Amino acid sequence: MGDVAGIGPEVIARACQDPSVRTCCRPVVVGDPQILAHALRLIGSTANVRCIDTPDATFDEENVLCWNPLAPEASADLALVAPGSLDSRAGRAAYEWLVAAANAALRGSIDAIVTAPLNKAALHLAGLNQPGHTEILAECCGVTRYAMMLYVPPGDAVRSPQGLGVAHVTLHTAVASVPGLITTERVAEKISLVHDFLCPIGVVRPRIGVCALNPHAGEDGLFGDEERRIIRPAIDRCLSRGWIVEGPVPADALFRRAIGGEFDGVVAMYHDQGHIPIKLVARETAVNITLGLPIVRTSPSHGTAFDIAWKGIASPQGMIEAIRTAAALARAKTDVVAAK
């Protein structure tokens, strides 16, 4: 459910009523049933909430299933959270729901998790010094090799036949710290994660473009030497495996080509380098996917949107796309296991 002060409950309520969602999967909301019921009334739905004790309960076509692993007193406190406000109670609940969902997925009780947005400041107010979903899930799953990917499914926004995925070498960090965090090993790791994601979804020979860090790819060292000193050796390492990898290419040129269909995947050096172009062309359809986890996790690419929270005007399209993508990835994962 994410942060209950944001738009998460509303977009979840709308998505759970969407025919395309109920066709592709059996959704279970991990969150507070009273807040979910409030969200359903907000959107004018007459559906009822059915509380369940385990996330793998029998599906119910008539009701919206809700599993709440929180203690009763913690749930009672959530009723006091004001819409659009920073609140430690909302931050703590979002964290607990996320961890519970991840553990359920690790146990095999559910096939995938789709996360509504949480607020990082609210996390910190709750004493949780994690940057966001990606890092929390990596810790839950015990992995150190992971990446955030923004994925645009096939459609009008991009011309690649299997969509376009953009992973990031650095993520939730100050821009000033980015050059010091980029290493040859990290760049090679992200290229590998993108390659390993694209193959199971039907890309036979993934075409991966790697962004430069500096303008004009450093202009032969005039604007920085990270391209030839750090990024290029990582690309060469991946080329030696027989992969199709190009770069480092200036980001402005690379994204124009990628959106036009020349690449299946892109590796960006930092958060905004990858997010800005994708959100410009596919804000409603871009899906956040965590690479490197043993479980499937997606989310919409928007945030908590406190400014419009609980006003009944939030678009569910991002959540719908995230759920549909999670279902497709879960099926692809099952198919790969069956093939082995």
pLDDT tens-digit series, residues 241-291: 999 999 999 999 999 999 999 999 999 999 999 999 999 999 888 999 999
Domain at 1-143: CATH code: 3.40.718.10
Domain at 145-292: CATH code: 3.40.718.10
Provide the pLDDT for residue 156: 87
CB 209 within 8 A of CB 265: yes
- Domain ranges across the chain: 1-143, 145-292
CB 291 within 8 A of CB 151: no
Per-residue pLDDT tens digits for 26-64: 999 999 999 999 999 999 999 999 999 999 877 788 899
Mean pLDDT of 98-116: 97
pLDDT band at 338 (very low <50, low <70, confident <90, very high): low
CA–CA separation, 266 and 334 (whole Å): 26
Q: Return the exposure string of 289-323: e unless at least 16 CB atoms fall within 10 Å of the residue's CB, then b.
A: bbbbbebbbbbbbbebbbebbbeeebbbbbbbbbb
Per the DSSP assignment, residues forming a β-bridge with 65 are: 28, 50
pTM: 0.91
Provide the pLDDT for residue 266: 98
* Tokens coding 20: 């395309």
Per-residue pLDDT tens digits for 178-197: 999 999 999 999 999 999 99
- Checking DSSP bridges between strand 113-114 and strand 64-67, what pairing results, if any? unpaired
Mean pLDDT of 15-28: 95
**CATH topology of 1-143 equal to that of 145-292?**
yes
Instruction: Walk across the sheet containing 207-211 and list its strands.
Output: 113-114, 297-300, 287-291, 147-152, 164-168, 265-268, 207-211, 244-249
